Amino acid sequence: MSDQPAEESSRPTNPHEIIAAETYRRSRGFWRILAFVALAIAVLAVAGRFALSNAPVGEHIARVVIDGTIATDPARLKLIEELAEDDSVKAVVVAINSPGGTTAGGEELYEALGQLRAKKPVVAVIKELGASAAYMAAIGTDQIFARRLSIVGSIGVLYQHINAGKLLDTIGVDLDKVASGPLKAEPDYDEPMAGEARASIGALVDDSFQWFVDIVAERRNLARPVALSLADGRIMSGRAGVETGLIDAVGGELEAQAWLEAERDVPKDLQIITAWPLESSGLGWIGTFLGGQARAALGLPANGAITLDGLVSLWQVGAAS
């Protein structure tokens, strides 16, 4: 019987086995260290985000980002109301990159920015796109800047209807309904928009449209016939927007900040801090940046397909305004 300890007898003696065992031991140690470092970084990142989000902020300019398709948003509305009451916020920059959205969403932003404007300076900066309901929001501010080649305008209201009657007849599908009145749920998907149904929708669109033209004329200091002539749904560049009076000047945030300093005595060295959208936990901002910004630049919804039910003031690539 051998007196060699069991531990020593279990050790590999083959050179290849010895090398493999040593490599495994080192690899295991490396991954343990890497896991520890990753955990430490994660803890520091969470602590840092918490500290930054709760760090006291002195006097500053708040940035409200309007990105992608616009709809009503109670959280955004509450944030704007809070900015109006926050004495540390000396001005607000509304950064717009949107094709528009629902008429109600545009109206909500227009009214909220108007109330904010009554308490402190508010400037709109249109990036790639500021059309339809997004332009409606922009005119709620004191001054509108856009890039020379930004897309602006598309003043108008839209109601879309799909008549799938022929398709349904082809595949043998018949729609039927019981309604409380002749205009309930009209027009239906299996018939054209005509008669009383079309007149009813037309009156709804016209009511919203006339209000849109009125506020454009009022806020842009245009005679109503001039505003009406620009409200045929056309889009235009930022440069053309300046010429027609829809935009105040060509520029971005730097020009907006210079205007705030010159016209509203806002100190030029104030930091611009994004107040909306609210900072989310985790690393979701990466997807938001890569997805939302690019899609909004093309006039597409920020988070995939979106169905807007009701009246919309929206400009879309490849579609009539």
Torsion of CA 131, 135, 137, 138, to 10 degrees: 130
Distances (CA, A) of 316 to 131, 133, 192, 201: 9, 12, 23, 21
Q: CA-to-CA distance for 165 and 169, rounded, in angstroms?
A: 6
Q: CA-to-CA distance for 224 and 251, rounded, in angstroms?
A: 27
**Side chain identity at 108, as an amino acid letter?**
E
Do residues 140 and 110 touch, judged by C-beta distance below 8 A?
Answer: yes
* 318 CB-contact burial (10 Å; exposed 0-12 / middle 13-18 / buried 19+): exposed
**Side chain identity at 141, as an amino acid letter?**
T
Do residues 90 and 267 touch, judged by C-beta distance below 8 A?
Answer: yes
Concatenate the DSSP letters of all residues of 279-297 into one string: PPSTTHHHHIIIIIIHHHH
Q: CA-to-CA distance for 305 and 300, rounded, in angstroms?
A: 8
Contacts for 69 with CB less than 8 Å, ≥ 6 apart? 98, 99, 100, 101, 301, 302, 306, 308, 314
Report how far Cα 206 is from the mean position of its chain's Cα atoms: 27
Q: Is 179 helix (H, G, I), strand (E, B) or coil?
A: coil
Which sequence positions are flagged as catalytic? 132, 184
Distances (CA, A) of 78 to 42, 72, 97: 32, 12, 21
Q: Is 206 helix (H, G, I), strand (E, B) or coil?
A: helix
